[in-house]
Structure 1
Amino acid sequence: MSDQEEQMSGQPHDRVGADDAGPVEAMDSAIVAVSASGRITAWNPSARNLLGYTAEEALGRPVERFLPRVAAGDAPPLRDHRVLRALRAGVPDNADGDSFTHRDGHPVMLAWSSAPIHADEPGTEGRGAEAVTGAVIVLHDAAERLRIEREQHNRMEQARRANSRLALVAEITTVLSSTLDENEVLRRLVRLAVPALGDWAEVDLLVPDGRVERVAATHREFSPADIARLEGPLPPLPRSPRGPLARVLHGGTTMVVGGDAARPYSDEPLTAAQHELFQTMDAHSVIITPLAARGETYGALTLGYSRPRHDYGPEDRLVVEDIARRTGLVLSNARLFATQRNTAEAMQRSLLTPLPQPDDLQLQARYLPAAQASWVGGDWYDAFPLADGATGLVIGDIMGHDLNAASRMAQVRNMLRALAWDLAAPPSTVLERLDAVMDAVSDAELATAVFARVEKTAAGPWHLRWCNAGHPPPLLITHDGATTFLQEHGMLLGNPGLTGGRPDGTRELPALSTLLLYTDGLIETRGTDLTDSLTGLRRHSAHLARLPVAELCDQLLERMELSGEDDVALLALRIPA
């Protein structure tokens, strides 16, 4: 059928009347009116501007010829027009952002709404499908508005991602800064990075002797057993690196590579090991960044996606590098504190001299440094012969837990030894003189200590005379398991004007009994009542009373379940039979 025949075959209402054409053409919106049969009865200039067809080309013809929607992909053009729903169902419809085809073939993005035209028949109850005589379709160019909305959405999404990444960086910084244990820092790092920054993560650390070790790893789908098999020693760092990990560890910058980029080199086992890891992780996109601070590279953080269509872009790189820098600083601080701790511990151990074993007395001592680097340096024990033949025993704790505390401990220890040898006086007198000397010639502030004399009387029994300056009470354990805390005590050391005197205590030491001197690290644990801890010490000591004194010390340290928050010094004396 020709276009002329198509036009002539239309019903009378298929054409726009003269009375209707004027208002329709004058409207700013694109207006298309259709008859009940779906033929165009009105097509105003705005419709021509949007779709390219003139009114002469459109009037009287099927609307689907002039409002062809763009099909998705390779599907055929859509024929079941939603814009005709007003005719089929007699109800309004609309869409915001449908893509239609312009006359010249390019797509145009339109928002549209359609409304049915009902016959005005007096006495008709309700408006069913049979009462629809046509429809009006209003179209608007939505491209610019949708573009602005997309830009706003993209900006909001970028801001959301940026805030999310900043929150992640802040969380990682807080968590990593809460410990100075290097291995714990790196385990926390990989757990926090996945899945926020990748499907898997691992850290390779440079060991001081030139080796490389994979110290932490995780994968969003791997079991702990699978992860454990991935960790451990790696081949050494090559002198002339070519693989990505080797180059980063050699002082290089961040690298973003594909999963197949770490191809193995025959002369570079480290890269071959990394290539094997990439295959295990099914790596698709990988970012490797150095963990460095203060001019030193400590290792490398590797993050990767196993899923396609996930790649590391510039924003990801900035976030990963920021996290790596912060981790590098934490590692640097951890190593500085570890160095300080090792120095303090070495100084402290050098002052804890071998114990004498006079007159069949058995002496055993133990020293355990705190788990945290900053909590080492103040506790000590000592035992030495006195000028009058007695044996001096000391347990003490200097305020502070660092290298300075270890140094002050050395001063106080040596002064106490000298005073005890020179004075041959009751323990309280020795500690009173120590107070004055500390105030005059030492920079030590406050300290607690127990100084005791152990001597054998002419009648035969062993006797203990002691003075306690603010220290936990010594514990006397008899061979049959009875336990007694020696409670006499006075003010701590370091402020002679506030001592108020310190009493001397005396006690006979039964055969095969054990005297236990200890520092507060043995009994004080955060969140635990001190009375309960002292009760536990008595209970365990009673059970261990008959063991050899060395075994008693070892078992006691094990049973007390030490927290590691403070160092522990322990001195035990066993009276002969």
Structure 2
Amino acid sequence: MKRTWRIDTVTDAAKARIATARLASAYGLTALERTRLTTALSARLRQCLAKGGSWRLTLHVTAVPGEQAQLQVTVSSSDPAEHAPWRTAVACAARPVADDGGVAGSRADLAESLMGADEDTALLLEKLGEQEQLVAFHREELHQTNQGVLALHAELDAAGQAQQKAFAAERRARQEAESARRRLTFLANASAALTSSLNHDEIVRRLPQLLVPEYAGSVEVWLFDGDDDRRPPGPRAAVAVLAARTGRPQCAAREPGDLPGVDDQPPSALDPERPLLCLPLPTRRAPLGVLTLTPPGDRWEPDDAVMLIEFARRASIAIDNARRFERNRDIAETLQRALLTDLPATPGLHLAARYLPATHGLNIGGDWYDAFRQPDGSLIAVIGDVTGHGLHAAVMMSQLRTALRAYAVDGGSPGTLLTRLHMFLHHLQPDLYATAVIARFQPGRPTLTWAAAGHPPPLLRTPDGQVHTLDAKPGAMLGIPLHQRIDDHTVDLPPGSTLALYTDGLVERRAAGIDPGIARLATSLGGFRPEELERDLDGSADRLLDPLLVDSERDDDVCLLLCHTTEGFV
């Protein structure tokens, strides 16, 4: 289908527009599509009339098999060279679906067409209104969404800030916990270091090593007895004297330190530029002294000050305990030395003894040695060990030594004397036991009589350098609830022989037992030259002990008694 209209006037244009609208309606265009088409066509025709001249409107419906039919609208000028044609197209039905009504000719047709155009316009406006309502609805919905997004952003921002604060608080808490752990670890390690020694000089020397440089720039130790003052001679800071007098920690600085438990004072006149923290060393009776510190940086943290006060308290306890131990140890050593008698001088028989107290405890125990003459001129050499350690064992040892001397006045062989000591100890202290070896040297007789009760066997070195272990049948320990008679044993004793009596502290080690120690002692004794023992028995005793006591820490006392015979004794 193809139709053409000539347009020279406005009336021609209106008729052509009406014909286009009717044709569009006949080919199934909707009111909205018709309105769009006719509105665009009216605008174009108005421009054409304004330009003047003669114009032609062509409507052409094309239908290609397999494709959508189109209504093509073309407005062209009678002078194509001057005005280019205007074209538009819209999809439509391939055939008319209603009567196109022809072209309007009368006024009634024009009015009817105008009314129809108004109806299409009203329908278009109605749809436009619906679209505007829908747009307004979506605009409101978008506004509400934007408000929600803004609120969500505000909440997220607040949550982010709260999370940052929580992270910062957690970081601070973690740092504080780490600092607290570090301080507690320091206190634990420092306490272990301070209490590991019972030498108060050593403890005082360790104080600066523990504190510098982490918690103090420098450390001065003022002990009131003056023996352990760790500072050059000269006047003391007034704040240290105040701490000594009041017993309260003091801090001298240009600005208040606000440290818990510490009194603030003006800066020290001796060193006004450096803050000083003076900590008393308290005890139950009175302070031992004052610990004066300078800060590792500009000042101390409050928690560090609390930790340093506790450190000073622990250091004071360690120093006080060490001093008490040293005093008691000195008393114990004096008592122990008093209980060990001097060795008698006997022609032809040289004696050398060594007693080394245990390095742990009060240095007093039950080991003893003794040598004395019997009425018949014989010399009794004895070495023994009371079980246990401490003052009780030392007292019992003294009683046994006194009892032995009393029994020896009546004479009697070593076995007889040990048997009487066994009865004495069993009745005196049923829950206390002892071991002992007694050897008797008789002038003019080249023999040695000896007896043992639960004690390590004596060692006899003969002049040819051979060392013999005197381990013939010994008796049981003294004091055990058992009736026993301890036998005597006799061995040849040529001139130049050396007898070694000792306690188990010399030869026994926890990891190896006692037999390897006895073997080492025998080897060392056999390694001496005869002239060494003859000339310097005391020095030989020291040289015999040195390789056997490689460990400076001993849990038990050590006793050694050497008896060397010469031609003059026999």
Q: TM-score with structure 1 length normalisation?
A: 0.63
Partners of 1:514 and 1:402 lie apart in 2 by 32
Match of 1:23 in 2: 145
Q: Is the 8 A contact 2:219 2:294 kept in 1?
A: no
Aligned equivalent of 1:490: 475
For residue 391 of structure 1, report the CA deviation from its aligned partner. 0.5
- Rounded Cα–Cα distance in structure 2 between residues aligned with 1:383 and 1:259: 72
Aligned equivalent of 1:254, options 249, 256, 268: 249
TM-superposed deviation, 1:418: 0.7
Q: CA deviation at 1:575?
A: 0.3
Q: What is the aligned partner in structure 1 of residue 458 from structure 2?
A: 474
Specify whether residues 575 and 170 from structure 1 end up closer, same or farther in structure 2 by C-alpha distance, changes over 3 A only. same
* Contact in 2 for aligned 1:411/1:442 (Cα 8 Å): no
Q: For the Cα contact (< 8 Å) 1:29–1:139, is it kept in 2?
A: no
What is the aligned partner in structure 1 of residue 233 from structure 2?
235
1:536 aligned partner: 520
**Partner of 2:384 in structure 1?**
396
Check the 8 A contact 1:446/1:492 in 2, yes or no.
Answer: yes
| Pair member with larger Rg | 2
Residue 292 of structure 1 pairs with residue 282 of structure 2 = yes
Q: CA RMSD in A?
A: 3.6
CA distance in 2, matches of 1:23, 1:404: 94
Note if 1:505 corresponds to 2:480: no
Q: In the TM superposition, what whole-angstrom CA distance separates every residue of 1:41-67 from its partner, at most 9, and x where no partner exists? A: xxxxx6xxxxxxxxxxxxxxxxxxxxx
Are the aligned partners of 2:222 and 2:290 in contact in 1 as well (CA < 8 Å)?
Answer: yes
> C-alpha distance in 1, partners of 2:253/2:516?
59
1:366-515 aligned at under 5 Å gives the runs: 366-422=354-410, 424-441=411-428, 445-457=432-444, 461-488=445-472, 489-495=474-480, 497-498=481-482, 500-515=484-499
Determine the C-alpha separation between the residues in 2 that align with 1:444 and 1:207: 46
- Among 322, 333, 354, the residue aligned to 1:345: 333
Q: CA 1:447/1:181 → structure 2, altered by over 3 Å: closer, same or farther?
A: farther
Structure 1 residues 338 and 152, CA gap change in structure 2 (3 angstroms):
same
Name the CA distance, whole Å, in 2 between partners of 1:250 and 1:199: 23
Measured at CA, do residues 206 and 527 of structure 1 come closer, stay the same or move farther in structure 2, by a change above 3 Å? farther
Deviation at 1:503, TM superposition (A): 2.9
Give the superposition deviation at 1:147.
3.3
**Against the structure 1 CA distance between its residues 533 and 421, is the aligned structure 2 distance closer, same or farther, given a 3 Å change threshold?**
same
Distance 1:256 1:526, change over 3 A: farther
Letter in 1 for 2:546: E
Report which stretch shifted further, 315-324 or 380-389: 315-324
Q: CA separation of 1:494/1:302 partners in 2, compared to 1, >3 Å: closer, same or farther?
A: farther
C-alpha distance in 1 between matches for 2:497 and 2:220: 53
The answer to whether the Cα contact below 8 Å between 1:285 and 1:312 also exists between their aligned partners in 2 is no
User: Would the aligned equivalents of 2:280 and 2:291 in 1 still touch at CA under 8 Å?
Assistant: yes
In the alignment, the residues of structure 1 paired with residue 468 and residue 561 of structure 2 have an alpha-carbon distance, to the nearest angstrom, of 16
Q: What is the alpha-carbon distance in structure 2 between the residues aligned to residue 251 and residue 524 of structure 1?
A: 53
1:518 is matched with 502
Matched residue, 2:190: 172
Distance 1:441 1:257, change over 3 A: same
Alignment of 1:132-281 (within 5 A): 139-140=157-158, 142-186=160-204, 190-193=208-211, 197-198=214-215, 202=219, 204=221, 206=223, 208=225, 210-214=226-230, 234-235=232-233, 242-245=237-240, 247-248=242-243, 252-257=247-252
Within 2, Cα distance between the matches of 1:200 and 1:455? Answer: 71
CA distance in 2, matches of 1:535, 1:455: 28
CA shift, 1:148, in A, is 4.0
Following superposition, the deviation at residue 358 of structure 1 comes to: 2.2
The DSSP-based 3-state class of the residue aligned with 2:347 is helix
**1:574 alignment partner, one of 544, 564, 567:** 564
Q: Which has the higher strand share?
A: 1
Tell me how far apart the structure 1 counterparts of residues 238 and 446 of structure 2 sit (CA, whole Å).
73
Q: Do the aligned partners of 1:490 and 1:499 also contact (CA within 8 Å) in 2?
A: no
Evaluate the alpha carbon distance shift between residue 259 and residue 393 of structure 1 in structure 2; reply closer, same or farther with a 3 A threshold.
farther
Amino acid at match of 2:450: W
Post-superposition offset of 1:393: 0.8
Residue 28 of structure 1 deviates from its aligned partner by 4.8
Q: Distance in 2 between matches of 1:254 and 1:562?
A: 46
3-state SS of the aligned residue for 2:486? coil
State the 1:235 CA deviation: 3.1
Specify the alignment match of 1:313 in structure 2.
Answer: 301
Distance 2:350 2:464 in 1: 18
Structure 2: distance between partners of 1:509 and 1:259: 85
Note the C-alpha offset of 1:154: 2.4
SS in 2 for 1:165: helix
C-alpha distance in 1 between matches for 2:232 and 2:387: 43
Q: CA–CA distance in 2 between the matches of 1:388 and 1:343?
A: 38
Distance 1:354 1:347, change over 3 A: same
Cα deviation, residue 455, structure 1: 0.7
Kept in 1, the 8 Å contact 2:366–2:385? The answer is yes
Cα gap change, 1:544/1:305 in structure 2, threshold over 3 Å: closer, same or farther?
farther
Cα-to-partner distance string for 1:367-426 (whole Å, 9 max, x where unaligned): 22222233422221111111221111111122222222222221111111111222x112
Range that drifts further, 550-559 or 185-194: 185-194
Secondary structure in 2 matching 1:555: helix
Whichever residue aligns with residue 163 of structure 1, its letter is R
CA distance in 1, matches of 2:511, 2:204: 27
Partner of 1:43: none
Offset of residue 194 of structure 1: 5.2
- Equivalent pairs, count: 412
What is the percent sequence identity of the aligned residues? Answer: 33
**Alignment partners' CA distance in 2, 1:190 and 1:352:** 42
CA distance in 1, matches of 2:222, 2:361: 20
Structure showing greater relative contact order (alpha-carbon pairs closer than 8 Å, 6 or more residues apart): 2
Q: What is the deviation of 1:322?
A: 1.7
Between the aligned partners of 2:441 and 2:222, the Cα distance in structure 1 is 53
Alpha-carbon distance in structure 2 between the residues aligned to 1:419 and 1:515? 23
Instruction: Give 3-state SS (helix, strand or coil) of 1:433's partner.
Output: helix
2:253 & 2:478 partners in 1: Cα distance?
65
Q: Which runs of 5+ in 2 are unaligned?
A: 1-138, 257-267
Cα pair 2:333 2:363 within 8 Å, conserved: no
For residues 143 and 387 of structure 1, the distance between their equivalents in structure 2, rounded to whole angstroms, comes to: 103
* Contact 2:404 2:417 (8 Å CA) reproduced: yes
- Per the TM alignment, residue 350 of structure 1 is displaced from its structure 2 partner at its CA by 0.9
Q: Residue 364 of structure 1 aligns to which amino acid in structure 2?
A: A
Task: Tell me how far apart the structure 1 counterparts of residues 489 and 246 of structure 2 sit (CA, whole Å).
Answer: 64
TM-aligned CA deviation for residue 332 of structure 1: 2.3
Name structure 1 gaps, 5 residues minimum: 1-16, 32-45, 47-110, 112-137, 215-232, 262-270
| Secondary structure of the structure 1 residue equivalent to 2:495 | coil
